[in-house]
Amino acid sequence: MNMPLIDPFARAISYLRVSVTDRCDFRCVYCMSENMTFLPKKELLTLEELDRLCSAFVRLGVKKLRITGGEPLVRRDIMTFFNAMGRHLDKGDLQELTITTNGSQLEKYAADLYAAGVRRVNISLDTLDEAKFAQITRWGRLPQVLRGIDAAQAAGLRVKINTVALQGFNEDELFTLTDWCADRDMDITFIEVMPMGDIGNEDRIGQFWSLRDLRARLAERSALTDLPDNSGGPARYVRVAATGQKIGFITPLSHNFCESCNRVRITCTGEIYTCLGQEGHSDLRGPLRASEADHDLEQAIRAAIARKPKGHDFDYSRQKVDGQVSRHMSHTGG
């Protein structure tokens, strides 16, 4: 029975984020340690398994699919997977296929992504300063990413920039970044840094820059109008009166967005996490590999959704990080 996926709190699950690899060509300081250990390749779902899994979710009512990682575009033959997912768009079963990427491979793949049916991409960029970019991503190079952004826009992809707000790092670039995006007709979303995974010696509390403060600084320059939420996700949006630009804020630590959460996440090893901020997860790779028919898989998906928690427990109050989860963002996908 293809009954839609509804969790115990009456939230319909219509949005799936899938991490297709834990590997990455960057080593962003808030995401990974420099000597990050990656999973053995045999642990990863094959592209065929990813197809079966995502297709099962589409059958069960998922309308929006976001591909993430690690860096999704470093996975070998990943375009085969995007092209395969395009069939669900063609049939109208899937409304949107999107990707979150660091942009390093977009010069190569932007046109192929468009051909596969992708229309919007999120590109992560924390600074427009070449030296700071190399510092924060460790292995990334800004000109390559800027060429990727050019290629994405030239291919017809709508670009949204994702920027992690980092105290003492990009506070001074707030207007440089927002103006640069406005000039290029790109939206921008700021993300509060989240306590995910062991990332070496970085001090997370030192990195945390409250988006309440960031928003107040934006508001000093131009009036901001709150936009109604329609994504079911953690982002809240405002319109800048002076330019018409849309600016988003993802504030899992200082606001609670859980009541409207419509999403679940799959790791590159086929674990389903029904809440980004909780450890609870279940395995879908076992049922996927146990049988070529999808019955067991669909049962396992339904059982996982039936255990989706009400909300997360992140808390940065009193200078102590509570509710910290041990897995890396690159494992679950951001």
Interaction site with ligand SAM (CB under 6 A): 24, 30-31, 68-69, 71, 100-102, 124, 162, 164, 191, 193-194, 196, 329-330, 333-334
Nearer to ligand SF4, 31 or 218 (CB): 31
Nearer to ligand SAM, 5 or 29 (CB): 29
Residue 32 binds: one of ligand SAM, ligand SF4, none (C-beta under 5 to 8 A by kind): ligand SF4
Q: Which residues contact 330 (CB under 8 A, 6 or more apart)?
A: 19, 22, 24, 31, 32, 36, 69, 70, 197
Q: Which two tokens stand for residue 234?
A: 């953690």
Interacting positions 26-45 with ligand SF4 (CB under 6 A): 26-28, 31-32
CA–CA separation, 325 and 109 (whole Å)? 33
- Which residues partner with 224 through β-bridges? 240
CA–CA separation, 187 and 145 (whole Å)? 17
Nearer to ligand SF4, 7 or 126 (CB): 126
Q: Which two tokens stand for residue 285?
A: 């790779």
Nearer to ligand SAM, 29 or 116 (CB): 29
- 302 by DSSP, 3-state: which? helix
Q: Which of 5, 18, 24, 145 binds ligand SF4 (CB under 6 A)?
A: 24
| Cα–chain center distance at 255 | 18
Q: Which stretch binds ligand SF4 (CB under 6 A): 1-9, 68-76, 226-234, 246-254?
A: 68-76
**Per-residue binder mask for ligand SF4 (CB under 6 A), 121-160, x = binder:** ---x------------------------------------
Question: Under a CB-based contact definition with an 8 Å cutoff, are residues 97 and 82 in contact?
Answer: yes
